[in-house]
């Protein structure tokens, strides 16, 4: 599964200014809601419920919050680059500045896990994450996320 199957150029927040994990998630969920037509509160509540199970901050300044919703029609994602890193209770204790939210239908099953794995695989590349942190241009961020993924594909 490639990231261009999961996100779109208008699903990029290139320079999000927030002070907390909760604020970051609220802003990202608001964009996800406006793009999908799903209720913002439903996305946000589901993401917070998942975060209560354990932080989705995977380390190295990266987080992949995710949730499943009954009324979601397909798996989709929103990417945010934060102006300043925020505490995310990440596994390595480091603050987070790159976030990729995934929303999936409740029936997604293995596809949800494949999407999570695809995002994690892309963010494993330290050269890519450095380039993502170095740009604020939404079109450039989208290209970085979706370009040349064949080397990352499973």
Enumerate the active-site residues: 66
Tokens encoding 108: 């997604």
Calculate helix-pair angle for 126-134, 110-123, nearest 10 degrees.
80
- Contact in structure between 78 and 35 (CB atoms under 8 Å): yes
Phi and psi at residue 117, to the nearest 5°? -65, -40
Q: In 22-130, at which residue ranges do the beta strands (DSSP E only) sit?
A: 57-59, 62-63, 66-69, 76-86, 96-105
Task: Kindly give the interhelix angle for 138-146 and 126-134, rounded to the nearest 10 degrees.
Answer: 170
């Amino acid at each position: 599964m490639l990231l261009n199957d999961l996100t779109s150029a208008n699903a990029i927040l290139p320079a999000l200014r927030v002070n907390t994990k909760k604020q970051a998630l609220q802003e990202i969920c608001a964009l996800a809601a406006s793009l999908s037509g799903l209720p913002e509160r439903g996305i946000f509540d589901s993401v917070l419920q998942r975060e209560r199970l354990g932080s989705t901050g995977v380390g190295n300044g990266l987080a992949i919050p995710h949730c499943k919703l009954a009324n979601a029609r397909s798996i989709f994602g929103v990417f945010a680059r934060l102006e300043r890193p925020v505490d995310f209770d990440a596994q390595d204790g480091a603050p987070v500045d790159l976030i990729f939210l995934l929303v999936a239908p409740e029936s997604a099953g293995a596809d949800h896990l494949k999407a999570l794995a695809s995002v994690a695989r892309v963010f494993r590349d330290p050269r890519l994450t450095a380039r993502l942190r170095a740009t604020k241009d939404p079109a450039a961020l989208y290209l970085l996320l979706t370009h040349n993924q064949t080397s990352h594909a499973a």
